[in-house]
Amino acid sequence: MPRKIVIDTDPGIDDAMAIFYALRSPELEVLGLTTVYGNAHTETCTINALRLLEIAGRPDIPVAEGAHRPLVSRFHGPADFVHGKDGQGDTFLPPAAAKPVGVHAAQFLIDAVMSDPGNVTIVALGPLTNVAMALLLRPDLPAYTREIVLMGGNAYVPGNASPAAEANIFNDPAAADIVFGAACPVTMAGLDVTSRIRMTADDLDRFATFPNAESQHMARLLPCYRSFYYGQLGVHEILVHDSTTISWLLHPELFTVEARPVRVETEGISRGKTWPANKSSRPDSDWEGRPAVNILVAANGPEAVRVELEAFAR
């Protein structure tokens, strides 16, 4: 039986890669995509989610549009300098024929989990606003959720949106603090691992050689992403952010996990910083009583890249 997942996403070049990776993995069944602002405005992310499903030949999978801004603060604006003005590497594809369903993403997430209580995993690839809204609307939702696995945060490494914070958490720290407090298994695939899982120029060149529509689309998107990372790293490599959630679901043996409660700084210059508890915390600290989060702290990067490319190649 494939594992049921629903993907909350802000597509986004690396979101596209993660969505295709999931769709091309028979071990997973994608129940739907829910959209959020982040790499682009929410309307654009919804159009992209529909496009990606059409490219993958899965227009039957529903898309539900979600939040247009964080819970309690303003949206700082799209990451078009990374993902292009259209969120898809400035490829400006025509819109898909399908339309989003008329249900808010938060309600869609609730309905997806409750359609098979205990067996549905939420995979979150963008700011956590929709997931937090679902938890606020249904405080008992964690009791029925198999796992929440999210790309976001930085436990022991610097941020990428600021020295303190990773972009998804920076975009809605209040929502992230709610999600890290959920009483179900929560797995944080943050920069501790995603900044160390890298596709090389040779890896990236392979997408164009795979004869399927998803890989061909990635080959069109990747030059934009690659040029951003060349500016950052000075080498033709990319960091594999969002796909790491899927690698965790398929190959948990590739990761080292540390189980600790996580709190999020919601204000000030460290806004969006994810703080794991440490052993010397006072008993009455702000971490007290919070559930342990599975923080991915190390990974077998070359193997994670190999298994992902294998999914695109088949």
Minimum CB separation of residue 65 from ligand RIB in Å reads 17
Q: Which is nearer to ligand RIB, 195 or 290 (CB)?
A: 195
Contact of 35 with 60, CB cutoff 8 Å: no
Among residues 62, 126, 159, 261, the one that binds Ca ion under rule CB under 5 A: 126
Helix (H) / strand (E) element for 297: namely strand 293-299
Rounded distance between C-alpha atoms, residue 60 and residue 11, angstroms: 18
Q: Which is nearer to ligand RIB, 23 or 169 (CB)?
A: 169
Torsion angle of C-alpha atoms 190, 192, 194, 198, degrees rounded to 10: 170
Q: Which is nearer to ligand RIB, 287 or 296 (CB)?
A: 296
Minimum CB separation of residue 191 from ligand RIB in Å reads 7
Q: DSSP E strands: which ranges in 51-194?
A: 63-65, 120-124, 145-151, 186-189
Structure tokens given for 64: 């539900």
DSSP 222-290: HHHHHHHHHHHHSSS-EE--THHHHHHHH-GGGEEEEEE-EEE--SSTTTT-EEE--TT--TTSTTTTP
Task: Give the residues lining the site for ligand RIB (CB under 6 A).
Answer: 10, 12, 14-15, 38-39, 125-126, 151, 160, 166-168, 241-242
| Catalytic residue status for 10 | yes
125 binding Ca ion? (CB under 5 A)? yes
Within residues 14-43, the interface with Ca ion by CB under 5 A covers 15
* Partner whose binding site includes residue 215, from ligand RIB, Ca ion, none (CB under 5 to 8 Å by kind): none
Q: Which is nearer to Ca ion, 110 or 123 (CB)?
A: 123
Q: Of all residues in this chain, which one has the CB nearest to Ca ion in the complex?
A: 125
Other C-beta atoms closer than 10 Å to the C-beta of 289 total: 9
* Partner whose binding site includes residue 301, from Ca ion, ligand RIB, none (CB under 5 to 8 Å by kind): none
Chain centroid to CA 128:
9
The set of catalytic residues is 10, 241
- Which residue ranges make up the site for Ca ion (CB under 5 A)? 10, 12, 15, 125-126, 242
